[in-house]
Amino acid sequence: MMKKALSISLFLLVFPVCGAASPAWAQDAPVDSTTVVVAETPPQLEAPAPVVSVEAQDTPDDAGKSITISWELSADDVAGRRNVTKYIILRSTSPDGPFDTVGSATAGMTTLTDGQVDNGVNYYYKVAALAGKFTPAGEKLFAGVASPLSGAAKASGQWFHIIRTARILPWVLVIGISILWFINVAKKGKDLYVRPIAGLAEVEQAVGRATEMGRKLVYIPGTQDMDNVQTLAGVTILGRIAKLAAEYDAQLDVPVSRSLVMITSREVVKEAYLNVGRPDAFNEDIVRYLTDDQFGYAAALDGLFVREKPATIFYMGAFYAESLIMAETGNAIGAIQIAGTANASQLPFFVAACDYTLIGEELFAASAYLSKEPKLLGSVKGQDVAKVLILIAAVAGLLLGTFKIADISGWFQV
Amino acid sequence: MKREVPLIITAVVGIMYIFQYFVPHEPVSRFSDWFSDWFGIIQAFAIWLGALNLMKLSLLKVARRKKDWMYSLVTIIGFAAIFIVGIFFSRGANFQEPGTRFMFIYDNVYDPLSSTMFALLGFFVASASYRAFRARNKEATMLLLAAFFVMLGRVPVGDMITKEWLQLPHWLWLSNWADWVMNIPNTAGQRAIMIGIALGIMSTSLRIILGIERTFVSGD
């Protein structure tokens, strides 16, 4: 080992500097146009054609402290000539160096973002295309030449995300105004027609069934925490169903998988029981915590279903792989099951195992439907109108694209 | 006030999140990190409420010899065992390192039990598929046919039938049928659902930010 190190040092002494266009041998070390690191025995490895053009500019639409470097591929990194293993990016605050390696990119890539810079400082970049090879001893060696210098680039933060503001904000405004307008119309007392949803029409019957059979009504508000909008929707629907359960004197059971969901759900159920004048029927253990663990929770619920055979089970919120484990067990015990989720990958499982399934947006509309409050129904109507607008845009885009008049797909990319 | 304060906090945080989407500059870009940190802190405290609730209900069930009390006993023993071993007998803060008693329980009890539950999915998918694919009506028959072609097109025998035995033209190979079903009608349906979900989230968020939807806030 000592002998090898000494030998390398000797080579460095003998061949200290090569010209900018000379090939360089390196052992995973930075390659600069003016620095050469020499291996013990130079292998038969040719440096690929250098990158001839490098550009560096402030990364657009960001908080700053970031510069995007782009380069043209080496002439040896094109179809038929794949001699480049990777590119390494060298950076300096002075055009004269010294240059440090700040990142690498695989062959074929033409951009890299350097997120380790300070705002307001000029940075200069070079890119070296490297060819790599393993020696018989198992060491990986690289050969490459650095590109010419990029222009000076300075990082800064932007106050507005131009693309998002131009492409998304108009839609947000149009859809938001549509929803707000219908909420306002509903406030004024105008009757709004909102399309019926089969699953929600059966909720009352499902709660009544639990009362008639004298069995439990189990409500599961998803398996995610309160920072998930689906859980929020699930807890909101729980409030409506708890009211029905209190009115029908059904035995409500809400086993949850998150502590914060337990606390919030408990408040919601308590409020529902108070609102229908049944504070005596409320018991805080109606809402209970089981476990945060995904499959532990599924196992606990499966056990509950099999032992206590609830008459009705609601699944409303975000679910993952546990959805089918629970829904199939519920199906096997003959419970009426109504599910709702916005996790598209779990919808087929619920559709196959449950009696009714609220698909995606219906989960978010469910609370408004069940409450029958005009203001909430107004928001659902606004949502439907927004959907019509999007449908019109989709059909317009389809026609424009099909007849090669214009391609507007880029308008929606952010 | 108990209702108003949470509603104001919700509205302010909601608006800040919207603002952050369009304004990348600091400190606006840090809003979500700050809120995530706060949420994590609240979550860490709240976990005790959940754990205590689980223990309280389980202990009461065992003490009162309620129906199926033995399952609660298993819960209490499991909870106590992992808690005591994790805190006192697993190298303190390094309890997650390989070779600790905590990791022994994790690897030899928790992991196999979790995998067992996950493995049940295989059987449940079979039983659910059997029910879903019964040709009871027009829609179910279409589903059955689509599933039949996709499944057959995704295995080598599918192409063997259409390519080798029947020697059909390229566009009639079953793998191409399967790809068409997955890429065209399936993707279109998925996108329609995703657009609906996005609108639903927007509508729900607006209701919550504006305080129209306030079921989740207690009033007393």
The CA–CA distances, whole Å, from A39 to A11, A82, B73 equal: 8, 24, 67
Determine the average pLDDT of the residues in A90-102: 88
- Residue of chain A minimizing CA distance to B23: A160
CA atoms within 13 A on the CB side of A323: 30
Residue-averaged pLDDT of chain A: 85
CB pairs under 8 A between A and B: 195
Fold that domain A2-154 belongs to in CATH: Immunoglobulin-like (2.60.40)
Residue position matching structure tokens 């002075």: A94
Which residues in chain B are closer than 8 Å to A165, comparing Cβ atoms?
Answer: 22
CA atoms within 13 A on the CB side of A282: 20
Residues 121-150 of B with CB under 8 A from A: 121, 124-125, 127-129, 131-132
The single-letter code of the amino acid at B173 is W
Exposure class string for A254-284: b at 16+ Cβ within 10 A, else e: bbbbbbbbbbbbbbbbbbbbbeeebeebbee
pLDDT (tens digit, 0 to 9) for every residue of chain B, 220 residues total?
A: 777 888 899 899 989 988 899 998 888 888 889 999 999 999 899 999 999 999 999 999 999 999 899 999 999 999 999 999 999 998 888 888 999 999 999 999 999 999 999 999 999 999 998 888 888 888 889 888 999 999 999 999 998 999 889 889 988 899 999 999 999 999 999 999 999 999 999 888 888 888 888 877 765 4
Structure tokens at B40: 């994590």
For B212, which of A63, A183, A267 is closest by C-beta distance?
A183
> Does A380 contact B203 at a Cβ distance shorter than 8 Å?
yes
Residue of A264, A387, A258 lying closest to A318 (CA atoms): A258
Determine the average pLDDT of the residues in A129-141: 79
Q: Is A414 on the interface with B (CB under 8 A)?
A: no
The span from the CA of A314 to the CA of A354, in Å, is 9
The CA–CA distances, whole Å, from A114 to A33, A65, A123 equal: 20, 8, 11
Residue of A113, A114, A149 lying closest to A128 (CA atoms): A149
Percentage of chain A modeled with pLDDT above 90: 48
Higher-pLDDT residue of A411, A381: A381
Dihedral in degrees, nearest 10, Cα atoms A374, A377, A378, A384: -160
How are beta strands A312-316 and A356-359 bridged, if at all?
A: unpaired
Q: Would you list the domain boundaries of chain A?
A: 2-154, 203-354
For the stretch A160-198, pLDDT in tens is: 898 888 888 888 888 889 888 888 888 888 888 887 888
Q: Are the CB atoms for A406 and A400 separated by under 8 Å?
A: yes
Element (DSSP H or E) covering residue A80: none
Q: What is the pLDDT of residue A409?
A: 78
**Residue A377 banded pLDDT, cuts 50, 70, 90:** confident
Determine the average pLDDT of the residues in A292-311: 95
The span from the CA of A234 to the CA of A239, in Å, is 9
Percentage of chain A modeled with pLDDT above 70: 89
Residue of A65, A179, A158 lying closest to B22 (CA atoms): A158
Residue of A194, A225, B170, B138 lying closest to B162 (CA atoms): B170
Phi and psi of B218, rounded to 5°?
A: -75, 145
**Residue A257 banded pLDDT, cuts 50, 70, 90:** very high
**Residue A20 banded pLDDT, cuts 50, 70, 90:** very low
Structure tokens at A344: 């598209």
Res. A293: pLDDT tops 90: yes
The span from the CA of A126 to the CA of A54, in Å, is 7
Q: Is A118 on the interface with B (CB under 8 A)?
A: no
- Residue of chain B minimizing CA distance to A184: B212
The single-letter code of the amino acid at B104 is F
Residues 183-212 of A with CB under 8 A from B: 183
For the stretch A23-62, pLDDT in tens is: 444 444 444 444 444 444 445 677 888 888 899 999 998 8
Fold that domain A203-354 belongs to in CATH: Rossmann fold (3.40.50)
Exposure class string for A55-64: b at 16+ Cβ within 10 A, else e: ebebbeebbb
The distance of B164 to chain A (nearest Cα, Å) reads 34
